[in-house]
Amino acid sequence: MTENWIDEYHLGVRYGLQGKVLIQEASDVQEITVIESVRYGKGLLLNGCWMTTEYQEKQYHECLVHPALCSAAEIKKILVIGGGDGGTARECLKHKEVQHIDMIEIDNRVIELSKEYLPSIGGNAWNDPRLHLTIGDGIAWAANAENNSYDVVLVDGSDPIGPAEGLFNKTFFENCKRILKPNGIFATQSESPEAFQQIHIDIVRLIRDVFNYSDPLYGWVPIYPSGWWSWTFACIDAPRYLNPLKKRASVISDQCEIWSPRWQKGAFQAIPAFLEREFEK
Ligand code: SPD
């Protein structure tokens, strides 16, 4: 096989893997690339930006899902917006209390290619009867869903340029709050505090404007720009995401590579000084 470099270009820096391109196509929504890399297995890029790879997807999916699902009052009904590779749904379905997931993915080709080339990421989620998949617009879904209808709302979108742009504005966050139960948890990926610094700061500020309680959590996804990543959590009645519930955590901990109750508590505290100052302004 001819091995080349597959790179995401961002602000004069390349974030790349050695490997080969398996699929490159334009869907109705975006350009999709599936690769096979030397170091991290197969991977997916959308519009030239890294979304996931087989051997470092847990750093992303566990950090988006378990701080919310281990801490919300109930987790019977979950909304996942985006998440077409299946990793977010897979992590949600580890929780036996989850009865119903609505997953709204805008691009059917992302799902088809993920099932074919990245089957370990979705795992059994695709065959689990609790997963209800809709191909459509998550922004419209959030705008039309009933008040107080979800225990947890998770946004697993791509970067705020192109099709995912509308997942980062105030109207969308207001709808997410409206459709969330008062004791539920909202969470979204919120970009890199280094490579997308101002965008990250703006996202956190906007979510804090809308919800009563909100905090960013910092972790790492090595192939994403700068490797340093964030997810932002929000609540209506109390900052529930700060306190993982022992009963749920004890079931999930052994199945996780990164997430643990200790990691969750520590990661919310590990906020760099310059960001804390920004959020206090
Ligand atoms: N720049 C990367 C943004 C990542 C967003 N979602 C990744 C999809 C993983 N399910």
CATH number at residue 261: 3.40.50.150
Task: Examine the residue annotation and report whether 156 is marked as an active-site residue of this protein.
Answer: yes
| CA 219 to ligand 1 center in whole angstroms | 13
| CA 49 to ligand 1 center in whole angstroms | 9
Q: Are residues 88 and 27 in the same domain?
A: no
Q: Are residues 73 and 46 in the same domain?
A: no
| Residue 146 exposure: Cα atoms within 13 Å on the Cβ side | 5
CA–CA dist 154, 15 (Å, integer): 26
pLDDT digits (tens, 9 = 90+) for 140-183: 999 999 999 999 999 999 988 877 889 999 999 999 999 999 99
Hey, what are 140's tokens? 């419209």
Residue span of the structural domain in which 102 resides: 58-280
Q: Are residues 11 and 102 in the same domain?
A: no
Q: What pTM value is reported for the model?
A: 0.97
Beta pairing partners, 79: 102, 153
Beta pairing partners, 220: 228
* Active-site choice (102, 151, 156, 159): 156
Q: Please, what is the average pLDDT of the chain? A: 96
pLDDT digits (tens, 9 = 90+) for 238-271: 999 999 999 999 999 999 999 999 999 999 999 9
- Quick one: pLDDT band at residue 2, thresholds 50, 70, 90? low
Q: Are residues 149 and 164 in the same domain?
A: yes
156 lines ligand 1 (CB under 6 A): yes
CA–CA dist 281, 250 (Å, integer): 38
Q: Are residues 27 and 78 in the same domain?
A: no
Q: Are residues 191 and 256 in the same domain?
A: yes
Mean pLDDT, residues 211-220: 98
CATH number at residue 35: 2.30.140.10
End residue of a domain, out of 53, 75, 90: 53
Hey, what are 168's tokens? 């980062």
